[in-house]
Amino acid sequence: MDQNLVVISKSAEIRKSFTESYTLLGFEVNVTDNILELIRDLNILEPDYVVIDIDQLSRMWKIVASGLRLAQKKIMVILIAGGITLEEANEALVLGVSGIIIKPFLPEFHLKRVYDIIHRKLRTDGMRLYPRFYTGTVFEGSLTVPLPASNKVHNFELVNVSEIGAAVRSKIPDIAPELQPDVEIEDAVLRIDNEEFPTSVKVIFRKQGLIGVFFQRIKKGQSNFQRCIQRLSLKAFGISGIKGKW
């Protein structure tokens, strides 16, 4: 996990929703009901993204938004508001706020909306977003890769999975040196919890023991695989991220 999200809200529902959703999406999540904690612990938290529920915060959020612009690294700020005037919205944009979402808080809308704002550049570049779901408390998995040339079978721990691919890792950095970008494996087996999906994969990247693969074809159990992704999407966003045929 290399993306840090801080959520500031008086609402326990909002704090809980973001913690459960964005942990599954690979974020390190810190939540608080006190905006002063962010100011005090900014150097420790080192957030990449800050979601501020501005209700009951008076003008304090404006001071914080202005201060975050002066941080050593770029921090994206997103506001959740019960009501905001056009003048206040324009002021927020001047302060560097990246997005404003209006209440009432609906997890099935707000969680995905924040995700879309964070990835706005990809969307404006015409790229479709495929959320990556990270293993942990919700699910576990692995990828078994046979290498016919060496007659060996390697088992990799699943780091994350998406509709189109996965990242896997091994504690042995130089394991299976044959697995380099563009190498194709026809008889890999993806496991998500207790379900197995024979699949053909193509290696997209490799960083020592961390390997990214693209699913060229789910050879068996494609509909069940879709349901797994839908289940994770429902857990993360409260909605299904799958539209049309996969």
Q: Which long-range contacts (CB under 8 A, 24 or more apart) does 192-199 make?
A: 192/139, 192/140, 192/141, 192/158, 192/161, 192/225, 192/228, 193/139, 193/140, 193/141, 195/221, 195/224, 195/225, 195/228, 196/221, 197/221, 197/222, 197/224, 197/225
Number of domains in the chain: 2
CATH number, position 225: 2.40.10.220
pLDDT of residue 246: 30
CATH number, position 33: 3.40.50.2300
pLDDT higher than threshold 60 for residue 1:
no
Q: What is the pLDDT of residues 73-108, one digit of tens each?
A: 889 999 999 888 888 888 888 888 999 999 999 998
pLDDT band at 132 (very low <50, low <70, confident <90, very high): very high
Q: Note whether 141 and 72 are same-domain residues.
A: no
Domain that holds residue 158: 135-236
Q: What is the pTM of this model?
A: 0.87
pLDDT higher than threshold 80 for residue 123:
no
Q: Note whether 200 and 145 are same-domain residues.
A: yes
Q: Note whether 160 and 203 are same-domain residues.
A: yes
d(CA 168, CA 191): 11
Residue 194 belongs to a domain: yes
Angle at CA 4, nearest 5°, toward 56 and 241?
90
Q: What is the pLDDT of residues 176-216, one digit of tens each?
A: 999 999 999 999 999 999 999 999 999 999 999 999 999 99
Provide the CA 178 distance to its chain's centre, in angstroms.
Answer: 29
Residue 129 belongs to a domain: no
Q: Note whether 18 and 44 are same-domain residues.
A: yes
Residue 130 belongs to a domain: no
d(CA 46, CA 48): 7
Residue with tokens 């770029």: 74
Q: What is the pLDDT of residues 13-69, one digit of tens each?
A: 999 999 999 999 999 999 999 888 888 888 888 899 999 999 877 678 888 888 888
Helices then strands, each counted (H, E), the chain: 8, 12
Q: Note whether 119 and 10 are same-domain residues.
A: yes
